[in-house]
Amino acid sequence: MRVEIHMPRSSSPSELEVHSGETVVVGRKPTMDDEGGQATRTVALPVPSVSASHVRIGCDSDGVRIEDLGSRNGTWVRLPPRSVVRFPASESLSVHLAVEPGGSAFEESPADAHTGGAREYVASLERALGAWFSAHDLSVALTVVPRDSTAAQDQSGWFPLPTGDSLVVEPTSTVQTSFWDAIGHVERYLARQNQQFSAAEEMRANGLVVASPAMRIAVARVIDAAAVGARSLLLVGPSGSGKEGLARCFHRHLGRPGPFVARNCALLSKEFARSELFGAEKGAFTGCTQRIIGAVEAANEGTLFLDELAELPRDVQAMLLRFLDHGDFERLGRYGRPSTSDVRLVAATNADLRSAALRDQFRLDLWFRVSAFVVDVPPLRDRFEDVEAFLRGRATPAGGSIHDALSPGALEVLAAHAWDGNFRELVNFANRIVAITKTRTIDADVCRAALAEGALRPLESSNPPRAPLAATPGGMAELASRAEEAFAHDRGDGSPASWDDVKDFVENYLKPLVFAHLGGATEVERLEDVELRATSQRLGADRGTASKQLARYFDRFGQ
């Protein structure tokens, strides 16, 4: 008797010949003497979702007998047309009609990995994936091994990393059939994480750092725009925040063969802006002794980066709009004979182009043409993780990094600083610190003096630390009581009575109260009066968490 055995992720079934009088045990690691009977022989199928001893198949004069041996994922039989199978009347049956059993969707992805460096990246991937598999009740072992071009190149569960390693995901017990869905989800997750890590490494090589959640979001948005082949991208953020690095990131992920060509519109004089962008024929104007190849033509099949777009002269804005709409342009002095160029545009500005367009200080139609994808690049004052990552990469004369040499007080000074000059100011600060540091420790006074030398305005004084919660009158018990009273008042049904009630109580009542108390927000009347950056740094929380918890506090408990 020929039996077809279909397995997950296998395009063709395995064939098993079972002869009359035979009993065959099939599984991942089948045994001859399984519970309930003696097998004639065993057949091993090295598939993670197949149980060790999965199914017993016997053949006699009456036909084939199939017995599931308590497998995790069940045994499914496909009936040929018009065939009949009889089961004991006492059994409970689950019948699937034309539906492949098993499988599940994984909508939530693992947490984003840190991109501060290769070692940190790999470690954070392991932590994020370990937590994710555990949350989905999938028992796996995660290992990182040196990449081997000859080992398991196409095997599911082996994932190459841009660090030169491979991440290996191996089940440690019989897994559900949904394991293969999980592997596919992880594959997509790692592809995105690897892209972001590679982009961060490329930007780091150019002096920029991508360690903060805010900057990782900006990089992810740029990569997403490149992935869909966006024809234009607008980067909005202060000078020195890393917009050109993001523009180069966009260019690399486009994968087009042409060059990256950058122009600063603020440096283009009104007289020569047109020729700088679109070119000019020899003799087109006084002093033009040879043909000028403009930036648009030079960037053919590549990326044109226009920094400080708001400074582009109004009449040239109209020419740029036509080029973006139609792909053709005219060199100065070559009228009636247009040329074409295929470019992707990245524009950057530190101005409020929306307001400028509404005030007719910037062409409204050009705004809508360049704003297909808009990415906000946060200032450095909102990215203290990037400040710390940069300082970890700069050494002091005494050995070790600047960050390791900073005292706790010095770190508070840096956290409270406005960083008006963004990365330019940070680089200057690091150079001054290296020049004046003679010891292994940098205290707050030395740090403050180095900052003040290049700061535009007086340094902000750091906020005094809050007293520990346990040291305050009433402490946690008082806050918990207040939270419970508010919960009972809002719900009208007393204390939390279910797990969902407990989660609601903790997230929307207790956490906001504790956060506001520790952050000093109970002393002000409005959320707008809270210095989010200083509060988040004092409590070791990111700005998003601070904003969310304080908004909940003022919404429910504010004065």
Angstrom CA distances, 492 to 478, 484, 485, 497, 509, stand at 21, 11, 10, 12, 15
Question: Which tokens is 24 given?
Answer: 């065959």
The Cα–Cα gap between 432 and 180 comes to 54
CB atoms within 10 A of CB 384: 22
Which residues fall within 8 angstroms of residue 202, CB to CB, at 6 or more apart?
248, 249, 252
The Cα–Cα gap between 338 and 130 comes to 58
User: Widest CA span of the chain, in angstroms?
Assistant: 104
Walk along the chain (559 residues) and give the pLDDT tens digit of each residue. 677 777 666 656 778 888 888 888 888 888 876 555 667 888 888 888 888 888 888 887 777 888 888 888 888 887 777 877 776 665 566 665 654 444 456 768 888 887 767 888 899 899 999 999 988 888 899 999 887 655 545 566 889 999 989 999 988 888 777 788 888 899 999 998 998 888 888 877 777 788 888 888 899 899 999 999 999 999 999 998 999 999 999 999 999 999 999 999 998 877 788 888 988 887 667 777 788 888 999 999 999 999 999 999 998 999 999 999 999 988 887 777 788 999 999 999 999 999 999 999 999 999 999 999 999 999 998 899 899 988 988 888 878 899 999 998 889 899 989 899 999 999 999 999 988 877 778 888 889 889 998 888 777 544 444 445 544 555 778 888 888 888 888 877 777 888 888 888 888 889 888 888 888 788 777 777 777 766 776 777 776 678 888 888 888 887 5
The Cα–Cα gap between 507 and 469 comes to 18
Angstrom CA distances, 81 to 2, 78, 84, 85, 87, stand at 17, 9, 9, 12, 18
Do residues 408 and 398 make contact, with C-beta atoms less than 8 angstroms apart?
Answer: no
Q: Which residue from 447, 426, 348 is spatially nearest to 384, judged by alpha carbons?
A: 426
Angstrom CA distances, 253 to 156, 227, 260, 328, 341, stand at 26, 7, 12, 25, 20
pTM score, whole prediction:
0.63
**Full set of structural domains in the chain with CATH:** 2-68 (no CATH), 118-205 (no CATH), 213-376 (3.40.50.300), 380-454 (1.10.8), 470-556 (no CATH)
Q: Convert 110-132 to b/e letters by CB count within 10 Å (16 or more is b).
A: bebbbbbbeeebbebbeebbeeb
Beta-strand relationship, 33-34 and 37-38:
antiparallel
**pLDDT for 274-328, tens place per residue?**
888 988 887 667 777 788 888 999 999 999 999 999 999 998 999 999 999 999 9
Q: Which residue from 77, 97, 102 is spatially nearest to 87, judged by alpha carbons?
A: 77
Predicted local confidence at residue 126, as pLDDT:
92
Do residues 329 and 370 make contact, with C-beta atoms less than 8 angstroms apart?
Answer: no
CB atoms within 10 A of CB 387: 24
Q: Where are the beta strands (DSSP E) in 118-215?
A: 140-146, 158-160, 165-171
Question: Which tokens is 96 given?
Answer: 């699937």
**pLDDT for 52-110, tens place per residue?**
888 888 887 777 888 888 888 888 887 777 877 776 665 566 665 654 444 456 768 88
